[in-house]
Amino acid sequence: MSASDLSLSTVGQIAIVIQDLPRATSYYRDTLGLALLFEFPGLAFFRCGEVRFMLSTAEKPEYDHPGSVLYFKIGDIAAVHSTLVSRGVEFVGAPHVVHRAATYELWMAFFKDTEGNTMALMEERANA
């Protein structure tokens, strides 16, 4: 394979560093509603669409910090926001428009998980 043939286009798994595995597992399974696939000592794996989502403690001290922002693509940000608020999720702010394009508006709402990682809801709402 040449360098010009390389195309990284599919994410297979995302790892999120956590401090307390039982607490984080409960949050992602029960509060956010992700499907728990399986657990292994020190790890929990979830299905999030086509991506496998892994919770783990840091393997080395330099990795022991909140990770990348995950954006959950959803269809109705107001309804999902309301449901998650009723489950105790604390949002940084209300859902709001972050970009307007010719055919859609991009809406987002940010929150933190139990481990301090930033997460977001994301809706691409078609223009009327």
**Cα separation of 14 and 113, whole Å?**
15
Is pLDDT above 90 for 123?
yes
Q: What is the pLDDT, as a whole number, of residue 113?
A: 92
**Cα separation of 36 and 16, whole Å?**
15
Is pLDDT above 60 for 41?
yes
* Per-residue tokens: 34: 């992700």
Q: What is the pLDDT, as a whole number, of residue 59?
A: 80
What's the maximum distance between 2 C-alpha atoms anywhere in the chain? 51
Q: What is the pLDDT, as a whole number, of residue 65?
A: 80
* Per-residue tokens: 5: 């043939």
- Is the dihedral angle over the CA atoms 77, 83, 86, 90 positive or is it negative? negative
pLDDT in tens, 49-96: 999 999 998 888 877 887 778 889 999 999 999 999 999 999 999 999
pLDDT in tens, 2-12: 556 666 677 78
Give the three-class secondary structure for 128: coil
Give the three-class secondary structure for 29: helix
Q: Which domains does the chain have, with CATH numbers?
A: 3-126 (3.10.180.10)
pLDDT in tens, 100-122: 999 999 999 999 999 888 899 99
Task: List beta partners, residue 111.
Answer: 91, 119
Alpha helices in the chain (DSSP H): 21-26, 77-86
